[in-house]
Copies of this chain bind each other. A is one copy, B any other.
Amino acid sequence: MMERLYPICRSITGDGVRRTLDVIGEAVPLDRHSVPSGTAVHDWTINDEWNVRDAYIADASGRRVVDFRKHNLHLVSYSVPVRATMTLSELRPHLHTLPEHPDWIPYRTTYYDRTWGFCLSQRQLDAMDDDTPYEVVIDTALGPGELTYGEVFLPGETEHEVLLSAHVCHPSIANDNLSGIVVACELAAVLAARPRRRYGYRFLFAPGTIGSITWLSRNAGRLAAVRHGLVLTGLGGPGELVYKRTRNGDKQVDRAASHVVRRAGGQTRPYSPYGYDERQFNALGFDMPVGRLSRTPHGEYPEYHTSADDLAFVEDDQLLGGLDAAIAIIDVLERDRNYRNLSPYGEPQLGARGLYPSVGGKAASDTVMAMLWTLAYSDGRTPLLEIAELADLDFAVLDEAAASLMEGGVLASVID
């Protein structure tokens, strides 16, 4: 799927987004939504739609020295139409390079300022000639149209929902965010196959910032149902898992994701108001419990927002590890609950229930320890996840212990 999505020229609106949703829709049951340009969405207004037919800089001989058809990062996103002959010095204010990475093309946008530009490698720029004129052609269409986003919803046993969001507005950049898109699709497939789900799962595939704000604007009545959420992005690149907390910092999703990510060798970071769509979901007026799951975050790897974030930059194992972590976080959210120890006057005689090794004197196994921790702290008010943290054991091990103890009649789940 990433190989099919990679060449498409996406932006915050336009054919590229629609073609991307087509591909996603082949994998998961996608509802598509369109909102006309000019529609007010909270503090913003949906921009004109932008599409590209062609864009290049050609030298006097007609040779294209910068060519959108070779790499869609060459054109600054939302560039207005241009057809002109310019010297290099006239062109320079419109050219973006990365001198420290002379072979890479940067990614730049100008969504809300009607101007234009080209991104090129430093080597391409160095090869250009100060003295001869260049033909500059940007054949774009920028006019009333629509913003498009897609949703997948998997109903659950309760009205409560988990929101999973991946931005779909970046052009040929693989880790940011084809990685988030494919992990979200696979996660949706995994959850769809489950016979029971405690929560409904809502997957949002929308352009960054304006897309999530549009969704928030059109779903005001639904927001309260969202109990947990994750923004999925940058999961195929280098580095360990990184969970970014919600603005509040201590929501259930924060505890669940911290547990999973830390035990997988990753790290947890506090909220910061910069990043991806978590900054919209966490805005003061919404205050939604949405964290972010990634690997090395935006801006911390040199390939970020350049042509070097390509298909080769993304590794299968990293993507699979990201998917596993997302599933494990959801499993905690699905399975965590409060239990009550039904035999609280001293340790119950687990051996009599076949739950304790008959030969004493040796160290206790993780299984036995998980039962002892669960009994020691299950006062009806302490979630199992908190006990897992106290015990320094995987939630899954505690969850199995709780099941054994319930079978043994010494533990009961608290109805909440």
Contacts and interface: CB of A to CB of B under 8 A. Distances in A.
Contacts of A379: 284
Contacts of A274: 364, 369, 372
Contact of A108 (B284, B360, B372): B360
Residue among A283, A285, A346, A348 facing the most chain B CB atoms (10 A cut-off): A346
Interface in A196-236: 209, 212-213, 216-217
A279 interface: yes
A341 B343 CA distance: 48
Given A112-B351, A299-B363, A361-B109, A344 B283 contact: yes
A313 interface: no
A113 B358 contact: yes
A345 B376 contact: no
A283 B376 contact: yes
Contact of A361 (B108, B217, B352): B108
Contact of A346 (B44, B362, B364, B376): B44
A352 B299 contact: no
Nearest to A279: B347
Main secondary structure of the interface of A (DSSP, over half): loop
A257 interface: no
Nearest to A356: B112
A284 B344 contact: yes
Given A108-B360, A361-B106, A361-B305, A285 B372 contact: no
A6 interface: no
Contacts of A76: 359
A358 to B, nearest CB: 4
A74 to B, nearest CB: 13
A107 interface: yes
Interface of A: 42-44, 76-77, 96, 106-113, 115, 117, 209, 212-213, 216-217, 247, 270-274, 279-280, 282-286, 299, 305, 341, 343-349, 351-352, 358-364, 369, 372-373, 375-379, 390, 410
A-B CB proximity, top 9 nearest = A285-B344, A113-B358, A273-B376, A284-B344, A273-B372, A109-B360, A285-B345, A42-B345, A213-B346
